[in-house]
Amino acid sequence: MFGLHKSIKLKRDILEVLDNATDYLSIKEIQELLEYPSFHSVKQACTELKELFQELFHPDEAQILIKVSGGIKIERHGNKTQRITEYLVTEDLIYTFLRTILLERTIDTDTFLEKHFISRSALYARIRRINQSLNPYELHITLSNQIRLKGEEYRIRSFSYIFLFITHRMIDQLPHITHKNTYLSMTKKIFGYLEIPLSENVLQSLAIFTFITQNGASKNTIHPHEKVLRYVRQFEYPEKPQFLTDWHTSDWEFYLYFLYLSNRLDFQYKDKLVLHNYYFFEHAAKDWVTCFETYFFHTTEQEKKKIYTAVNQQLLSIQTFPFNKEFFDNVKMISEDQTRLQFPELMERFELFWTELTQIQPLFASSFYTRQVSLLTVIQLMNFDFLKPSIKVYIYSDIGQLHQDYLTSRLMQMLTNYKFEFVSTPPEAALIISTVEYLEPVAITQQLLVIHSTLSPTDLIIIERTLQNIVETKKQSKWLKKLSHLLCFFYF
């Protein structure tokens, strides 16, 4: 993580693995899931994490449980692991170094070496590693009598926010920064001027960028020749408020532009940040909509407007900031594996959508960020009833119609992952459910289940298993039909 010690990444990755596990994991299992560390490294890191949990948390809040022969697991109430990650990062000298150079831009070398008890050669080695992380952002640190941070001002501000937000999330958690209330008040005043309401949590995170902008304005200005400004200046912004006396117009415009791209504010407030929404990537947005409508559903004019804005934002974002692999190692936007388990039909359609979109518009394939944001946009638009497999069901109750209606209601309430169409004649149904031995003929393509009249939990498990088999059979049938058409095409 941005040149920090490799043990921090290992401990953070172990925490993520344990957090996603529902039972104890052995050291060997953790090692195999992570792939890169040695058995000894994982064992030592787990022991150190247990000690850290004991130091930072009461057992009622969070704890790591280790069994001699049974493995290790996290037991927590609420999201407490962010505090652990923050502690690990801030204890590393390189965090102190990066935070200082990002905010000060220049550090006296001898003073830093003496204050932190580190040799010049050791610091040089660490700076080389940091520069490997900074290179994609076109930032570079040099070491001589003075340690200097070099790069365009907008990149320094963007990277500073990402670094501090990933680590702390809230301005109140930033160490060694005085007058935090000043930046909270300034942020409140700015958003009051823009007539945009903020929750306390959003205020805390956006105040970090207010602090970075105020600090940057005192060090340097964003110069008109910087290439990102050709995008920034295509927008029309509210006039800079008079109370921001230390900010140039370019500071104010980049502040609003960055917030516009950040997705921290609700869609309805976008026109408060930019008065005229210029679509740089209108053709790409139209292709996005076309592909979406091919694999999902037709969109309304209001939905198209949201998509155009979202696509414009994500493509502008990758021009402004390089979202590389290291960024996504530190910012988990969405787990595709978990989404695939929960919504297999959605992910199947999304893969087809994404393959076609990236062939038509290769710009989308240039960054993993565009894939993640596109998936989040699809989920936001999605009516999940559309993805539920539709199954025709016939229910026969030997008790009577009222009882049959009761069974219908129970099924709809308990098995919500399916869209049921309850039919009035048995031949229409894929599944026939009866409360008594069923005497009518059943087709080879139909499934028959005889259940208890109370529809017991065991009955529900058997019904769900049968529904899964019906859905899987339908998928296989569709796949065989497609294969048959392909074979006919190639044959002829």
| Per-residue pLDDT tens digits for 431-442 | 999 998 888 899
Asked whether the predicted pLDDT for residue 285 surpasses 50, the reply is yes
Region 291-315: what's the mean pLDDT? 90
Nearest to 412 by CA among 435, 438, 391: 391
Burial class from Cβ neighbours inside 10 Å (0-12, 13-18, 19+) for residue 18 reads buried
d(C-alpha 362, C-alpha 360), whole Å: 6
How do the residues of the chain divide into helix, strand and coil, expressed in percent and rounded to 5?
60, 10, 30
> Does the fold of domain 388-491 match that of domain 6-77?
no
Q: How many CB atoms lie within 10 A of CB 46?
A: 21
d(C-alpha 40, C-alpha 344), whole Å: 37
How confident is the model over 86-97, as pLDDT tens digits?
888 888 888 899
Do the Cβ atoms of 19 and 11 come closer than 8 Å? no
DSSP state of 241: P
d(C-alpha 468, C-alpha 192), whole Å: 53
pLDDT of residue 434: 93
Least confident piece of the model among 52-66, 231-245, 267-281, 282-296: 267-281
What are the residues facing 75 on neighbouring strands? 63
Which 3-state string (H, E, C) describes the chain? Answer: CCCCCHHHHHHHHHHHHHHCCCCCECHHHHHHHHCCCCHHHHHHHHHHHHHHHHHHCCCCCEEEEEECCCEEEEEECCCCHHHHHHHHHHCCHHHHHHHHHHHHCEEEHHHHHHHHCCCHHHHHHHHHHHHHHHHHHCCEEEECCEEEEECCHHHHHHHHHHHHHHHHCCHHHCCCCCCHHHHHHHHHHHHHHCCCCCCHHHHHHHHHHHHHHHHHHHHCCCCCCCCCHHHHCCCECCCCCCCCCCCCHHHHHHHHHHHHHHCCCCHHHHHHHCCECCCCCHHHHHHHHHHHHHHCCCCCHHHHHHHHHHHHHHHHHHHHCCCCHHHHHHCCCCCHHHHHHHCHHHHHHHHHHHHHHHHHCHHHHHCHHHHHHHHHHHHHHCCHHHHCCEEEEEEECCCCHHHHHHHHHHHHHHCCCCEEEECCCHHHCCEEEECCCCCCCCCCCCEEEECCCCCCHHHHHHHHHHHHHHHHHHHHHHHHHHHHHHHHHHHC
Asked whether the predicted pLDDT for residue 358 surpasses 80, the reply is yes
Enter the pTM of the model: 0.74
Helix (H, G, I), strand (E, B) or coil at 15: helix
pLDDT of residue 490: 45
pLDDT of residue 90: 85
pLDDT tier for residue 326 given thresholds of 50, 70 and 90: low
DSSP state of 432: E
Asked whether the predicted pLDDT for residue 469 surpasses 70, the reply is yes
382 vs 428: which has the higher pLDDT: 428
d(C-alpha 292, C-alpha 287), whole Å: 8
345 vs 100: which has the higher pLDDT: 100
Asked whether the predicted pLDDT for residue 489 surpasses 50, the reply is no
How confident is the model over 102-138, as pLDDT tens digits?
999 999 999 999 999 999 999 999 999 899 888 888 8
Region 454-464: what's the mean pLDDT? 89
How confident is the model over 196-249, as pLDDT tens digits?
999 898 999 999 999 999 999 998 888 755 667 777 877 889 999 999 999 999
Select the CATH number that applies to the domain covering 388-491 from these four: 3.40.50, 1.10.10, 2.120.10, 1.20.950.
3.40.50
DSSP H or E stretch at residue 100: helix 93-104
Asked whether the predicted pLDDT for residue 335 surpasses 90, the reply is no
d(C-alpha 108, C-alpha 404), whole Å: 82
What are the residues facing 434 on neighbouring strands? 396, 450
Secondary-structure class of domain 6-77 per CATH:
mainly alpha
Least confident piece of the model among 46-60, 229-243, 262-276, 346-360: 262-276
pLDDT tier for residue 78 given thresholds of 50, 70 and 90: low
Least confident piece of the model among 6-15, 92-101, 314-323, 413-422: 314-323
Q: Write the single-letter amino acid at 427.
A: P
Straight-line distance from the first to the last Cα atom of the chain, in angstroms, rounded to the nearest whole number: 56
Do the Cβ atoms of 314 and 374 come closer than 8 Å? yes
Domain residue ranges of the chain, discontinuous segments joined by + = 6-77, 282-385, 388-491
DSSP state of 269: G
Region 404-418: what's the mean pLDDT? 89
Alpha-carbon distances, residue 122 vs 109, 159, 161, 442 (angstroms)? 13, 24, 27, 78
Which 3-state string (H, E, C) describes 345-379? Answer: HHHHHHHHHHHHHHHHCHHHHHCHHHHHHHHHHHH
Asked whether the predicted pLDDT for residue 266 surpasses 90, the reply is no
DSSP H or E stretch at residue 449: strand 447-450
Do the Cβ atoms of 67 and 24 come closer than 8 Å? yes
Mean of pLDDT over the chain: 86
Contacts of 69 (CB under 8 A, 6+ apart): none
> Which tokens is 85 given?
């990650």
Do the Cβ atoms of 350 and 378 come closer than 8 Å? yes
Positive or negative, the Cα torsion across 151, 157, 158, 161?
positive
